[in-house]
Amino acid sequence: MKIGFIGLGNMGAPMAANLTKDHDIIGFDTVAKPADITMAGSAIEAAKDADVVITMLPNGSILRSVAAEIHPAMKPGAIHLDCSTVDVESARAVAAQAETRGLKAVDAPVSGGIGGAQAGTLTFMAGGPGDALADVKPLFDIMGQKAVHCGPAGNGQAAKICNNMILGVTMIATCEAFALADKLGLDRQAMFDVVSTSSGYSWTMNAYCPAPGIGPQSPADNDYQPGFAAELMLKDLNLSQMAAAAADADTPMGQAATALYRQFVEDEGGAGKDFSAMLPRFESRRRG
Residues lying near ligand NAD in the complex (CB under 6 A): 6-12, 28-32, 43, 56-58, 62, 66, 84-85, 110, 113-114, 232, 235
Long-range contacts of 28-34 (CB under 8 A, 24+ apart): 28/4, 32/8, 33/8, 34/8
Q: Which of 193, 198, 235, 184 is nearest to 211 (CA)?
A: 193
**264 vs 282 by CB, closer to ligand NAD:** 264
**30 vs 217 by CB, closer to ligand NAD:** 30
Catalytic residue from among 48, 75, 146, 160:
160
Q: How far is the CB of 230 from ligand NAD (least distance, A)?
A: 12
Q: Using alpha carbons only, how large is the chain's radius of gyration in Å?
A: 20
Tell me the backbone φ, ψ of residue 214, rounded to 5 degrees.
-115, 135
Tell me the backbone φ, ψ of residue 105, rounded to 5 degrees.
-125, 140
Plot region of 27 (φ>0 → left; ψ -120 to 50 → alpha; else → beta): beta
Kind of pairing between the strands at 122-127 and 110-111: antiparallel
Q: How far is the CB of 229 from ligand NAD (least distance, A)?
A: 7
Long-range contacts of 22-30 (CB under 8 A, 24+ apart): 22/138, 22/142, 23/139, 26/2, 26/50, 28/4
Which residue's CB atom is positioned nearest to ligand NAD?
Answer: 9
Q: How far is the CB of 163 from ligand NAD (least distance, A)?
A: 11
State yes or no: is 48 an active-site residue.
no
Q: How far is the CB of 190 from ligand NAD (least distance, A)?
A: 33
Residues annotated as part of the active site: 160
